[in-house]
Copies of this chain bind each other. A is one copy, B any other.
């Protein structure tokens, strides 16, 4: 099965960048150890007026691998209480044009 790409734009409230970064770190630590994880890249906006100050991208071997990781107790514990404060819009994608 083809690899899938997670893209997750974060609407970081003013003054919450450090908190959002720490949240990302905790989640990424779990993801990196999960079966099917390939790589991750966290993008930070160069300009403060970008709607999404952080956008996470990660590559996974399959939808099933990603879902198993997100639904794991380890991941839920790692990000508990943080995600609600940072609106985010995750989706799984495939590249259709280059």
Residue pair B55, A7 in contact (C-beta under 8 Å): yes
Question: If the complex has contacts A9-B52, A46-B63, are A41 and B95 also in contact, measured as CB distance less than 8 A?
Answer: yes
State whether the Cβ of A28 lies closer than 8 Å to any Cβ in chain B: yes
Counting contact residues on chain A (CB < 8 A from B), the size range is 20 to 34
Q: How far is the CA of A98 from the CA of B59 in the complex (A)?
A: 11
A50 touches which of B21, B46, B92 (Cβ 8 Å)? B92
Copies of this chain, tallied across the complex: 2
Residue pair A97, B42 in contact (C-beta under 8 Å): yes
**Binding site secondary structure of chain A:** strand
Kindly supply a per-residue 1/0 record for chain A positions 3-28, scoring 1 wherever the CB is within 8 Å of any chain B CB and 0 otherwise. Answer: 01101010000000000010011001
Interface centre among A4, A41, A92, A97 (most CB of B within 10 A): A97
Chain B nearest CB, measured from A94 CB (Å): 6
